[in-house]
Amino acid sequence: MELRQIRYFLKAKELLNFTEAANSLFISQSTLSQQIKQLEIELDVLLFNRIGKRIALTEAGEMFAEHAVQSLNKANDGFLAMKDLNNLKTGKIIIGVTYGIRSFLTPALIEFSKKYPDIQVQVIFGISDELFEKLNQLELDFVLSFRESMDEEHFNYTYLFSSPMTFVTSDKSLIEGKETITLEEIAKMPLALPAKGFSTTKFINKIFTTSKLSPKISIEINDIQILLDIVKTGNWHTVLAQTTVSDVKELHAVPIAGESMTRSAMIISLKDVYEKKAVKVFCDILQKINSKES
Amino acid sequence: MELRQIRYFLKAKELLNFTEAANSLFISQSTLSQQIKQLEIELDVLLFNRIGKRIALTEAGEMFAEHAVQSLNKANDGFLAMKDLNNLKTGKIIIGVTYGIRSFLTPALIEFSKKYPDIQVQVIFGISDELFEKLNQLELDFVLSFRESMDEEHFNYTYLFSSPMTFVTSDKSLIEGKETITLEEIAKMPLALPAKGFSTTKFINKIFTTSKLSPKISIEINDIQILLDIVKTGNWHTVLAQTTVSDVKELHAVPIAGESMTRSAMIISLKDVYEKKAVKVFCDILQKINSKES
DNA sequence: TTTCTAAATCGGTTTTATCGATTGATTTAA
DNA sequence: TTAAATCAATCGATAAAACCGATTTAGAAA
């Protein structure tokens, strides 16, 4: 039994005339006759009484039609659901975001949701390592994160923008007013840094190591919001991408002197995975917003 | 899109392995691969992510599966309903019965319903002409009626039993005690007869015409039960098949002398119409009961 | 590093849907 | 009543599609 036969049967039932049904389906009458006969043989019932040149539905035919029409409708529903998905009329995207990029996400989120209100967007904030693990487990559609290299073969990397790494300090501290600061100067300050899973921390460790300096780390913490509160006290400082604190008014970001003191924000996704149309559209919006801001 | 593809897709979804799914369905892996690809092309989505040698369901795949499984289940329901119909687990038969045969119907009805409790039986009492019209309109599965000839080409006739035509009178009347009565004697009596649509009336008219006699018809009525009540008064008599009054204790049936004074009870059905299994079984029971009683 | 294995692809074969023509019978029109 | 039209069934042939085994490609396991 195939949907084709069901389609033929239901049309014949509707028109109660094999020739008309065949014409309506753009097939020959003999095809329709044969396919319905096959269905009858398979079901071991007669679906139609053939009376002279006319047809009448049998009890079996009536009974079968109830199920047949539902089967066909469900299949059509499936087809239409795929259409909706492709037309951005339904679906869901799941985005992993690191802290420093949240302010760039918001405008894209607003624009996307306004344009495609039927698409559900789930945003998961997290530290880089966790987010990439979720990406590998197909739990995320993409990750927004800072990255220094595009070194994982199975990932797609799409550049968004660069943000300078800055020395972040409180407005209360004495360091306000400096136009730039060196790593040597930072190495003498009490620092509160993100915990080990943060890509920012990896970056910080790398630049200090490269410069043969040791930072004076007083605090390591895995919550950026609390980290910022600690810096607000004026007793500790930190090093973060400028975008991380661009909207925090009690904090001051001082550019760090030296080369390679910028980090690139990227859209990172899995290569082998089918790119949902909604994901593609969202990323396009992200890039559009980024090019506008630069 | 065909149910075949849906079956393949759902098995692949279940096992998350094309090769195993193919084996499970007794087809080759390449067939499964190609058919799923065809489905994906038609739906314009990827249903599976191919990650190395493994497969994972996409969002589209998950969404589609919800509809697909229902479509397949409804089709299977239709198939199973046909099985039930053939196994006498469901269905309905509609029987048209003339008055004189009702006492033979009851035992068959009881036996059938005991044996096949899930089959609905609808019994329609009526006069012959009405019942045959309904039969022609496919509103009845068959008719139980007396018949003299098998003269309609598009009907099937199955003989059940013969019943003598009798002069029916009240126990109160003076005619009780006669072993037989002639048409001449009957012609002198005040008669209450069934109305024109009854085949019994046609039979009575015929035998009187053939004998060149005119019955003294005082009353014509189209309700047999009332007719019998009228006869019970003792003021009028009637002519009916013996079976019509075999279970009425206030009435006495006197055999009518002469040849051709019997009528045959038959099962009459349409030739062009698919005979339901339930109908066939019911008729077999009717015939079995009849051969037992004779 | 080698071997195994799973999905994709290829080219050929088998099966099935489909077609147009014809048959048989009924219905309609003249 | 006859002739013509028409409708479902059937037939034989063809086109299309499902299917197969072999091979390729690449990932996973040993």
**Nucleotides on strand C lying under 7 Å from protein C-beta:** 5-11, 17-21, 24-27
In chain B, whose CA is at the least distance from the CA of A59? B91
Give backbone dihedrals phi and psi of A265, rounded to 5 degrees, phi first.
-90, 135
Q: Is the pLDDT of residue B166 over 80?
A: yes
Contact residues on chain B for A7, CB-CB shorter than 8 A: none
Q: Stretch B159-176: mean pLDDT, rounded?
A: 82
Strands A92-97 and A155-170, sheet pairing? unpaired
Rounded to whole angstroms, how far apart are CA atoms A268 and A96?
Answer: 10
Rounded to whole angstroms, how far apart are CA atoms B22 and B8?
Answer: 8
Min CA distance, A117 vs chain B (Å)? 18
What are the start-end ranges of the H helices in chain B?
3-15, 18-25, 29-43, 59-86, 102-115, 128-136, 183-187, 199-210, 224-232, 277-293
Give how far the C-alpha of residue B122 lies from the chain's centroid of Cα atoms, to the nearest Å. Answer: 8
Angle between helices B18-25 and B3-15 (to 10 degrees): 130
Please tell me the predicted confidence (pLDDT) of residue A177: 64
Q: Which residues on adjacent β-strands are paired with residue B94?
A: B122
> For residue A198, how many C-alpha atoms fall within 13 Å in the half-sphere facing its CB?
21
Rounded to whole angstroms, how far apart are CA atoms A95 and B115?
Answer: 63
Rounded to whole angstroms, how far apart are CA atoms A145 and A138?
Answer: 17
**CA-to-C1' distance for A12 and C27, Å?**
20
Give how far the C-alpha of residue A199 lies from the chain's centroid of Cα atoms, to the nearest Å. Answer: 21
Rounded to whole angstroms, how far apart are CA atoms A34 and B136?
Answer: 27
Q: Six-digit token pair at B21?
A: 């799914």
> Which amino acid is located at A75 in the chain?
A
Rounded to whole angstroms, how far apart are CA atoms A250 and A246?
Answer: 10
Rounded to whole angstroms, how far apart are CA atoms B228 and A218?
Answer: 114
A162-263 is classed in which CATH architecture? 3-Layer(aba) Sandwich (3.40)
Please tell me the predicted confidence (pLDDT) of residue A170: 87
Min CA distance, B280 vs chain A (Å)? 14
Angle (CA) A202 A205 A210, round 5° = 125
Q: Six-digit token pair at A85?
A: 């998905």
* DSSP reduced 3-state for A124: strand
Instruction: Read off the DSSP letter of residue A188.
Output: T
Give how far the C-alpha of residue B226 lies from the chain's centroid of Cα atoms, to the nearest Å. Answer: 28
Please tell me the predicted confidence (pLDDT) of residue B212: 86
Contact residues on chain B for A81, CB-CB shorter than 8 A: 63-64, 67
Please tell me the predicted confidence (pLDDT) of residue A176: 57
Domains B92-160+264-293 and B162-263 share a fold: yes
Please tell me the predicted confidence (pLDDT) of residue A111: 93
Please tell me the predicted confidence (pLDDT) of residue A77: 95
| A-to-B residue pairs, Cβ atoms closer than 8 angstroms | 127
Residues of chain B contacting A, Cβ within 8 Å: 1-4, 6, 43-46, 49-52, 56, 58-60, 63-64, 66-68, 70-72, 74-75, 77-79, 81-83, 85-86, 90-92, 138, 272-274, 276
Q: Where are the beta strands (DSSP E) in B153-200?
A: 155-170, 190-194
> Which amino acid is located at A248 in the chain?
V
Give backbone dihedrals phi and psi of A52, rounded to 5 degrees, phi first.
60, -125
Residue with tokens 């008014």, as numbered in its chain: A249
- In this structure, whether the domain defined by B3-86 belongs to CATH 1.10.10.10 is answered with yes
* DSSP reduced 3-state for A175: coil
Query: Closest nucleotide to A154's CA, by C1' atom?
Result: D27
Min CA distance, B25 vs chain A (Å)? 16
Q: Six-digit token pair at A284?
A: 């396009």
Please tell me the predicted confidence (pLDDT) of residue A116: 93
Q: In terms of Cα–Cα distance, which of B13, B41, B60, B17 is closest to A141? A: B60
Evaluate whether A145 touches A241 at the Cβ level (below 8 Å).
no
When comparing pLDDT for B47 and A129, which is higher?
A: B47
What are the start-end ranges of the H helices in B116-196?
128-136, 183-187
Segment holding A227, helix H or strand E: helix A224-232
Predicted complex ipTM: 0.80
Contact residues on chain B for A4, CB-CB shorter than 8 A: 2
In this complex, do A44 and B82 lie within 8 Å of one another by their Cβ atoms? yes
In this complex, do B2 and A6 lie within 8 Å of one another by their Cβ atoms? no
Segment A200-251, tens digit of pLDDT: 888 888 888 888 888 888 888 888 888 989 898 888 899 988 888 888 888 8
Q: Which of A42-51, A244-253, B70-79, B159-168 has the lowest mean pLDDT?
A: A244-253
Contact residues on chain B for A79, CB-CB shorter than 8 A: 1, 43
Q: In terms of Cα–Cα distance, which of A87, A89, A105 is closest to A97? A: A105
The confidence band for B69, taking pLDDT boundaries of 50, 70 and 90, is very high
Rounded to whole angstroms, how far apart are CA atoms A176 and B53?
Answer: 57
Residue with tokens 């996307």, as numbered in its chain: A112
* DSSP reduced 3-state for A287: helix
Evaluate whether B128 touches B136 at the Cβ level (below 8 Å).
no
Q: Is the pLDDT of residue B176 over 60?
A: no
Rounded to whole angstroms, how far apart are CA atoms B287 and B112?
Answer: 12
- Domain range annotation of chain A: 3-86, 92-160+264-293, 162-263
Angle between helices A29-43 and A3-15 (to 10 degrees): 110
Segment B245-279, tens digit of pLDDT: 888 888 888 888 887 788 889 999 888 778 888 99
Range 7-36, chain A: CB under 7 Å to any strand D atom: 17-19, 29-30, 33-34, 36
Instruction: Read off the DSSP letter of residue A44.
Output: T
Segment B90-141, tens digit of pLDDT: 889 999 998 888 888 888 999 999 999 999 999 998 888 888 888 888 889 9
Give how far the C-alpha of residue A132 lies from the chain's centroid of Cα atoms, to the nearest Å. Answer: 13
Please tell me the predicted confidence (pLDDT) of residue A83: 92
Give the dihedral of Cα atoms A279, A283, A284, A286; nearest 10 deg: 140
In this complex, do B44 and A274 lie within 8 Å of one another by their Cβ atoms? no
Q: Is B46 exposed, middle or buried (0-12, 13-18, 19+ CB in 10 A)?
A: buried
Q: Which residues contact A261 (CB under 8 A, 6 or more apart)?
A: A164, A165, A207, A255
Partner residue facing B71 (CB), from A45, A51, A74: A74
Rounded to whole angstroms, how far apart are CA atoms B114 and B63?
Answer: 47
Evaluate whether A163 touches A203 at the Cβ level (below 8 Å).
no
In this complex, do B75 and A44 lie within 8 Å of one another by their Cβ atoms? no
When comparing pLDDT for B43 and B225, which is higher?
A: B43
Taking 70 as the pLDDT cut, the residues of chain A under it are: 174-177, 293-294
Please tell me the predicted confidence (pLDDT) of residue A175: 62
A92-160+264-293 is classed in which CATH architecture? 3-Layer(aba) Sandwich (3.40)
